[in-house]
Amino acid sequence: MKDKLIIFDTTLRDGEQSPGASMTRDEKLRIARQLERMRVDVIEAGFAAASNGDFESVRAIAEAIKESTVCSLARASEADIRRSGEAIAPAARGRIHTFIATSPIHMEKKLRMTPDQVVEQAVKAIGWARQFTDDVEFSAEDAGRSELDFLARIFEAVIAAGARTINVPDTVGYNVPDQFAATLRSLIERVPNADKVVWSVHCHNDLGLAVANSLAAVRVGARQVECTINGLGERAGNASLEEIVMAVRTRADIFPVETGIDTTQIVPASKLVSQITGYPVQPNKAIVGANAFAHESGIHQDGVLKHRETYEIMRAEDVGWGANKLVLGKLSGRNAFRARLIELGIEIESEEHLNHAFARFKELADKKHEIFDEDLTALMRDEAVTPELEHYRLLSSRFHSETGETPLAAITLAVGGAEKHAEAEGSGPVDAAFKAIESVVSSGSELLLYSVNAITTGTDAQGEVTVRLSRSGRVMDGQGADTDIIVASAKAYLNALNKLHAGTARLNPQVGP
Ligand code: KIV
Ligand code: ZN
């Protein structure tokens, strides 16, 4: 019998700390449902004290998810922990994950606390959290740069106070595999009652070693890995869930553990997260990249045709490739449309909502014969836009671009209900469209990123555009999809502006005291 490796997904919390990747409550709910379908053990649903919106998201996920444990992050303060406790209260299984920094540099420069004070605060935090749930996890932030003796001391104290999971984060991605494994091995050997808790790791990818470090830790006793879909997360991101899960499964000969993950849900989860956050997946990304199972060279193709295992160590279908089957077309009816949305885990709020979405689906099916799951997901993402995210709306557009002529965009927008029209020239039609929008909106924001991706294959595919805007230190990503990429670009630009317009202030758990 192998040990169980607990998969703790933090896409909705650490993943959301990626610049511009903030998600709405409904988007988070959809990702949480997909994680549950994939049989993730623990879903870190957010940082409840960050804002009212974050609190509501964690609570909504705690209400909706029945199979996975729902967790909220909390700094080691009574107020944060109370907020987390309230947010996870409806969960069938709820966890509070509390943390405090333990490296000399963080304690001295960030917390301005002595090591004794840090231990005392951590112990108090466990006591506060235990008032809400028995399932309490403790993290020593920046453990990767902390002193081993101090880690052993604080872990002993929080275990005695009632922590059930001890997490060892390499917060700044500084460790290398053999050294990180040695740290974990020593801690497990020397901390009293180490066998009463689950040892967990949480590795960042600053040196590209997050997965390698996590797997090295698993080989010496870690039984929980914290990870994210597509490796999303602060800076260079976290360990990617798909790589951890498939490494453990493919190399069952060397890992003494198994996960409970339904691996066929991996690619759908990756696509959903990419669509919602607007973070494209690089084609050569392991497991979920478009080329992960593509063989280019003739020798490889020949080998695979003769015997697949000559060049393939995993089967594409085992991770969910091929799941984007053709689902609907122009002649599909309302019932087929509804049934597919339900299968995709997309909630239909009312008959009116369904009718509206179905009308948009028919418009899309007129332009594009084959409608794939990804098209439906993008369509329903636009449908899910709430009124506060619709201060600016594209009513109509006209673009002119001809060889030797200056491109021109003419757009009509609804701005808080009033209709506004503008025209502008640009170096290309997208530039002209953004200038026309800005001539109406005067947002004062800076364009940081513009990217276009085809949602599916074929020249009739919808283009999905991500636009990242920054204003007064806040960064927001917007997405838009359309068969016309200039229209998709204008929609994405407006989506980012709407998020900046609606934006509520949220705290980053790891910044400040
Ligand atoms: O990277 C980190 O240290 C974290 C902790 C809050 C677990 O995200
Ligand atoms: Zn982290």
Is the pLDDT confidence value at 513 over 60? no
Torsion of CA 73, 77, 82, 84, to 10 degrees: -10
Element (H, E) at 274: helix 266-277
Task: For residues 457 and 26, give the distance between their C-alpha atoms in angstroms, rounded to a whole number.
Answer: 27
- Residue of 139, 203, 232, 508 best suited for mutating to test ligand 1, as the one with most atoms within 8 Å of CB: 139
396 in the same domain as 263: no
Give the residue from 244, 277, 310 where a domain finishes: 277
Percentage above 90 pLDDT, the chain? 70
Using alpha carbons only, what angle is made at residue 135 by residues 130 and 136, rounded to the nearest 5 degrees? Answer: 65
Q: For ligand 2, an ion, list residues with CB under 5 A.
A: 14
CA–centroid distance, residue 450 to ligand 1 (Å): 29
Higher pLDDT, 305 or 477: 477
The candidate with the shortest Cα–Cα distance to 393, out of 470, 490, 303, is 490
Please report which confidence band the pLDDT of residue 246 belongs to, taking 50, 70 and 90 as the band edges. very high
The candidate with the shortest Cα–Cα distance to 40, out of 83, 75, 71, 73, is 71
Is the pLDDT confidence value at 457 over 80? no
* Cβ within 8 Å of residue 405, ≥6 positions away: none
Is the pLDDT confidence value at 293 over 90? no
Q: How many domains does the chain have?
A: 2
Please report which confidence band the pLDDT of residue 484 belongs to, taking 50, 70 and 90 as the band edges. very high
CA–centroid distance, residue 387 to ligand 2 (Å): 33
Known binding-site residue numbers: 14, 202, 204, 238
Token representation of residue 268: 């759908």
* Cβ within 8 Å of residue 174, ≥6 positions away: 144, 145, 206, 207
End-to-end CA distance of the chain: 44
Domain membership of residue 30 (yes or no) is yes
Domain membership of residue 508 (yes or no) is no
CA–centroid distance, residue 11 to ligand 2 (Å): 10
Is the pLDDT confidence value at 324 over 60? no
Please report which confidence band the pLDDT of residue 222 belongs to, taking 50, 70 and 90 as the band edges. very high
* Cβ within 8 Å of residue 246, ≥6 positions away: 263, 266, 286, 287, 314, 319
Please report which confidence band the pLDDT of residue 455 belongs to, taking 50, 70 and 90 as the band edges. confident
Residue 297 has a pLDDT of 63
Give the least confident one: 200-214, 247-261, 264-278. Answer: 264-278
Half-sphere exposure of 369 (CA within 13 A, CB side): 2
CA–centroid distance, residue 233 to ligand 1 (Å): 10
Higher pLDDT, 93 or 366: 93
Q: pTM for the full model?
A: 0.87
Q: Helices 266-277 and 25-37 meet at what angle, rounded to 10? A: 170
Token representation of residue 421: 């029209």
399 in the same domain as 257: no
Question: Strands 392-400 and 408-415: what pairing?
Answer: antiparallel
- Residue of 10, 11, 14 best suited for mutating to test ligand 1, as the one with most atoms within 8 Å of CB: 14
Residue 164 has a pLDDT of 98
Give the residue from 277, 308, 329 where a domain finishes: 277
Residue 207 has a pLDDT of 98
Q: Note down the domain range covering 208.
A: 3-277
User: What is the dihedral sign for C-alpha 421, 398, 376, 27?
Assistant: negative
Give the residue from 255, 277, 299 where a domain finishes: 277
> Which residue, chain included where needed, has tokens 């019998």?
1
Domain membership of residue 352 (yes or no) is no
Residue 70 has a pLDDT of 98
Give the least confident one: 99-113, 122-136, 291-305, 451-465. Answer: 291-305
Is the pLDDT confidence value at 505 over 70? no
Q: Is 382 helix (H, G, I), strand (E, B) or coil?
A: helix
Domain membership of residue 483 (yes or no) is yes
Is the pLDDT confidence value at 305 over 90? no
The 3 state secondary structure assigned to 278-306 is CCCCCCCCCCCCCCCCCCCCHHHHHHHHH
Is the pLDDT confidence value at 506 over 80? no
Residue 296 has a pLDDT of 62
pLDDT in tens, 8-60: 999 999 999 988 788 888 889 989 999 999 999 999 999 999 999 999 999 99
Is the pLDDT confidence value at 266 over 70? yes
Token representation of residue 124: 């108090």
Known binding-site residue numbers for Mn(2+): 14, 202, 204, 238
CA–centroid distance, residue 195 to ligand 1 (Å): 23
Supply the residue whose CA is at minimum distance from atom 1 of ligand 1: 171
User: What is the dihedral sign for C-alpha 345, 340, 333, 482?
Assistant: positive
Token representation of residue 506: 């949220």
The candidate with the shortest Cα–Cα distance to 477, out of 331, 200, 276, is 276
Please report which confidence band the pLDDT of residue 439 belongs to, taking 50, 70 and 90 as the band edges. very high
Give the least confident one: 12-26, 260-274, 304-318. Answer: 304-318
Residue 215 has a pLDDT of 98
- Looking at the CA of 141, which ligand is closest? 1
The candidate with the shortest Cα–Cα distance to 320, out of 273, 264, 262, is 264
Percentage above 70 pLDDT, the chain? 96
CA–centroid distance, residue 160 to ligand 2 (Å): 25
Residue 368 has a pLDDT of 83
Residue 148 has a pLDDT of 98
Residue 7 has a pLDDT of 98
Task: For residues 505 and 507, give the distance between their C-alpha atoms in angstroms, rounded to a whole number.
Answer: 7
Residue 390 has a pLDDT of 86
Q: What type of residue sits at position 150?
A: F
Pocket of ligand 1 (CB under 6 A): 14, 73, 99, 139, 141, 167, 169, 171, 202, 204, 510
Residue 375 has a pLDDT of 87
Domain membership of residue 291 (yes or no) is no
- Residue of 204, 213, 507 best suited for mutating to test ligand 1, as the one with most atoms within 8 Å of CB: 204
Give the least confident one: 10-14, 175-179, 382-386. Answer: 382-386
Supply the residue whose CA is at minimum distance from atom 2 of ligand 1: 171
* 58-92 exposure pattern, b = at least 16 Cβ within 10 A, e = fewer: bbbbbebbeebbbbbbbbbbeebbbbbbbbbeebe
Residue 504 has a pLDDT of 63
pLDDT in tens, 82-134: 999 999 999 999 999 999 999 999 999 999 999 999 999 999 999 999 999 99
Mean pLDDT value across residues 469-475:
86
The CATH code of the domain that includes 406 is 3.30.160.270
- Other beta carbons within 10 Å of 467: 29
256 in the same domain as 405: no
Domain membership of residue 438 (yes or no) is yes
Residue 325 has a pLDDT of 58
* Nearest atom (ligand 1) to Cα of 509: 6
Domain membership of residue 455 (yes or no) is yes
The candidate with the shortest Cα–Cα distance to 172, out of 125, 215, 206, 202, is 206
The CATH code of the domain that includes 60 is 3.20.20.70
* Cβ within 8 Å of residue 166, ≥6 positions away: 137, 138, 155, 158, 159, 187, 191, 197, 198, 199, 200
Domain membership of residue 361 (yes or no) is no
Do 105 and 66 form a contact (C-beta atoms < 8 A)?
Answer: no
User: How confident is the prediction for the chain on average, in pLDDT?
Assistant: 92
- Residue of 107, 136, 202, 227 best suited for mutating to test ligand 1, as the one with most atoms within 8 Å of CB: 202
CA–centroid distance, residue 365 to ligand 2 (Å): 42
Element (H, E) at 157: helix 148-161
Q: Express the helix, strand and coil content of the chain in percent, nearest 5 each.
A: 45, 20, 35
Do 293 and 312 form a contact (C-beta atoms < 8 A)?
Answer: yes
pLDDT in tens, 334-344: 888 988 887 77
